[in-house]
């Protein structure tokens, strides 16, 4: 334990030397509180909060967050009182520990009132302090890494389902892609072990086969850029296993997955990103179907990059992700990018999250629309954290909508004040029916008419999102009451 704790302190010292003493104090306090406690693996319990703190330190978390990571189980699993924690570590650290404690032992698939309350607390807590969910994500990563030691197979499945449905999507919304990918793969391993094993073997085989071409591709790209006075750093990785599994479930073969092989090309400025795109397309023929410009139109979690898929050696599909060092930092650290840029990032990070990340506004809207805890869970699962596709609104802005949504869903999710007056829908310049399934990168425009008949029972069948269904039901209920009300 001393070696692991020492490594943590050294890691923290590399970016925040002033935090070392209080982090050490938090570790020693947690060590004493968890003494004689053990995990299901047989390890001393302190290994868990230490691992959580190390994950947070990798993100350059601030002092209070690291300490809360070390102390996050003290209120629940030891005899520590909130008053004692407050007197020892102050209000900020105590508030974070309390926030994480309030959402401990949440089981999303157990629809008890307690668990519904816990989920609501988890998501709404981000409005006050996004660091609470970041600590919880670190906690979940380590729990998933050690899930094999949980002997109850049903609990393994429930924990994995909760992770892949709730925590991995939250990580993506926060721009924490590495966290998302790891949580997905760890969950996949327990949810579908045979599929996981098969894809893991194929994954490793294709990666090994491509290694003979990797150096050639990197050298070619580096040389053509250098010949044009553009200097680059090139990284290579393989698509995560769960991502491959989803592609296969959608009918693709391993050879046809356009982003199975991924090269990240890091350049010093935006102009050189676009120049590099030109030179790469001269080296390798592009598949224009998969070109995305996330620099001109960043994702809603602030991700920026140029994506192009090209035909490489032996016509193998390769994705090139072209971006600047700052974009690479954002792609790696997401919302926690602020910790890398500012000494006291807490307030600025929170303000940016509340105002600039759609996740928080979607959660607030879900909370406002929900008539019960169960409604809230349903809206969050389907509308907030469900799989999304990119589309364009009538202003040409790139937004996201739930995969499988219809124009009725689009209207209620984006124009709820006039959606009941929906009269017509134009997609890519062509009128479509209300039951049309919206496709990626469709441009949607709705037309409303105050004299439109409004929703009827058929709209409930067409709508796919919980928000739209809830709004339609409310309209039908009000309309029924109005029609049956006595004129006297």
Instruction: Kindly tell me if the per-residue pLDDT of 208 is higher than 80.
Output: yes
Mark whether 76 is an active-site residue.
yes
Give the pLDDT mean for 415-438: 94
pLDDT at 488: 46
Q: Where are the alpha helices (DSSP H) in 228-345?
A: 241-249, 270-283, 325-333, 337-341
With tokens 């009269």, the residue in question is 423
Residues near 133 by beta carbon (within 8 Å), at least 6 away in sequence: 122, 125, 126, 170, 174
Note the pLDDT tens digit of each residue in 47-95.
Answer: 999 999 999 999 999 999 999 999 999 998 999 999 999 999 999 999 9
Range of weakest confidence among 170-179, 323-332, 357-366 = 357-366
Please tell me whether residue 465 adopts helix, strand or coil conformation. Answer: coil
For residue 8 the two structure tokens come to 């943590």
Q: Which burial class, exposed, middle or buried, applies to 477 when counting CB atoms under 10 A from its CB (0-12, 13-18, 19+)? A: exposed
Please report, rounded to a whole number, the percentage of residues in the chain having pLDDT higher than 90.
69
How far, in Å, are 16, 84, 399 from residue 448 at the CA level?
Answer: 55, 59, 21
What is the average per-residue pLDDT within 336-344?
84
Q: Are 222 and 234 in contact (CB under 8 A)?
A: yes
pLDDT for 16-52, tens place per residue? 999 999 999 999 999 999 999 999 999 999 999 999 9
Report residue 472 as tokens: 């339609």
* CA atoms in the 13 A half-sphere facing the CB of 163: 31
Across residues 3-7, what is the average pLDDT?
90
Mention every residue, 6+ apart, whose C-beta is less than 8 A from residue 183: 137, 140, 141, 144, 163, 164, 167, 168, 171
Choose among 85, 112, 106: nearest CA to 96.
85
pLDDT reading at 102 higher than 70: no
Q: How confident is the model at residue 486 (pLDDT cuts 50, 70, 90)?
A: very low
The question of whether 207 is a catalytic residue gets the answer: no
CATH class of 193-335: alpha beta
Mean pLDDT, range 221-250, rounded to an integer: 95
pLDDT mean across residues, the chain = 91
Class of domain 387-484 as given by CATH: alpha beta
**Tens digit of each residue's pLDDT (9 = 90 or more) over 440-469:** 999 999 999 998 888 999 999 999 988 888
CB half-sphere exposure, 394, CA atoms < 13 A: 10
pTM: 0.89
Query: Which residue of the set 21, 32, 76, 347 is catalytic?
Result: 76
The CATH code that applies to domain 2-191 is 1.10.3210.10
CATH 1.10.3210.10 placement within the chain: 2-191
What is the Cα–Cα distance from 411 to 55, expressed in whole angstroms?
41
Burial grade of 44 (CB within 10 A; 0-12, 13-18, 19 or more):
middle
**pLDDT at 305 > cutoff 60:** yes
Across the range 233-255, mean pLDDT stands at: 94
Asked if residue 483 has pLDDT above 60, the reply is: no
What b/e readout covers 361-398, taking b as 16+ CB neighbours within 10 angstroms? ebbebbbebbeebebbbbbbbbbbbbebebbbbeeeeb
**CA atoms of 284 and 280, how far apart (whole Å):** 6
Cα 252 to Cα 99, 205, 248, 259: the distances in Å are: 42, 18, 5, 12
CATH 3.30.460.10 residue ranges of the chain are 193-335
- Overall average pLDDT of the 414-424 stretch: 90
174: pLDDT confidence band, cut at 50, 70 and 90?
A: very high
């Amino acid at each position: 334990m001393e070696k692991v704790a020492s490594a943590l302190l050294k890691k923290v010292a590399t970016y925040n030397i002033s935090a070392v003493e209080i982090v050490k104090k938090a570790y020693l306090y947690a060590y004493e509180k968890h003494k004689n406690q053990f995990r299901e693996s047989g390890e001393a319990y302190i290994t868990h909060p230490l691992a959580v703190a190390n994950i947070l330190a990798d993100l350059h978390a601030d002092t209070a967050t690291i300490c809360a990571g070390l102390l996050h189980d003290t209120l629940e699993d030891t005899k520590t009182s909130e008053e004692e924690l407050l007197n020892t570590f102050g209000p900020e650290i105590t508030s974070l520990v309390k926030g994480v404690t309030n959402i401990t032992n949440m089981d999303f698939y157990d629809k008890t009132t307690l668990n519904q309350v816990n989920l609501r607390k988890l998501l709404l807590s981000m409005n006050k302090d996004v660091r609470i969910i970041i600590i919880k994500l670190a906690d979940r990563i380590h729990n998933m890494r050690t899930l094999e030691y949980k002997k109850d197979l049903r609990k393994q499945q429930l924990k994995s389902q909760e992770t892949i449905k709730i925590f991995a999507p939250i990580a993506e919304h926060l721009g924490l892609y590495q966290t998302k990918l790891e949580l997905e793969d760890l969950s996949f391993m327990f949810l579908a072990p045979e599929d996981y094993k098969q894809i893991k073997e194929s994954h490793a085989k294709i990666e090994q086969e491509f290694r003979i071409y990797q150096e050639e591709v990197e050298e070619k790209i580096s040389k053509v850029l250098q010949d044009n006075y553009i200097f680059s750093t090139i990284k290579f990785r393989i698509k995560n296993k769960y991502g491959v599994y989803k592609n296969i479930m959608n009918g693709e073969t391993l050879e046809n997955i356009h982003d199975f092989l991924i090269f990240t090309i890091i350049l010093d400025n935006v102009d050189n990103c676009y120049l590099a795109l030109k030179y790469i397309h001269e080296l390798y023929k592009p598949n224009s179907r998969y070109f995305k410009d996330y620099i001109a139109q960043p994702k809603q979690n602030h991700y920026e990059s140029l994506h192009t898929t090209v035909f490489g050696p032996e016509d193998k599909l390769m994705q090139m992700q072209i971006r600047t060092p700052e974009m690479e930092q954002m792609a790696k650290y997401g919302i926690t990018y602020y910790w890398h840029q500012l000494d006291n990032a807490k307030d600025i990070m929170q303000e940016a999250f509340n105002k600039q990340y759609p996740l928080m506004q979607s959660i607030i809207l879900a909370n406002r629309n929900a008539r019960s805890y169960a409604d809230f869970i349903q809206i969050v699962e389907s509308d907030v954290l469900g799989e999304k596709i990119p589309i364009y609104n009538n202003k040409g802005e790139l937004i996201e909508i739930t995969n499988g949504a219809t124009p009725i869903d689009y209207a209620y999710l984006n124009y709820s004040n006039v959606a009941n007056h929906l009269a017509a829908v134009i997609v890519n310049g062509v009128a479509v029916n209300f039951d049309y399934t919206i496709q990626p990168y469709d441009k949607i425009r709705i037309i409303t008419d105050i004299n439109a008949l409004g929703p009827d029972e058929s709209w409930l069948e067409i709508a796919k999102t919980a928000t739209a269904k809830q709004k339609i039901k409310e309209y039908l209920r009000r309309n029924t009451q109005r029609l049956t009300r006595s004129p006297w």
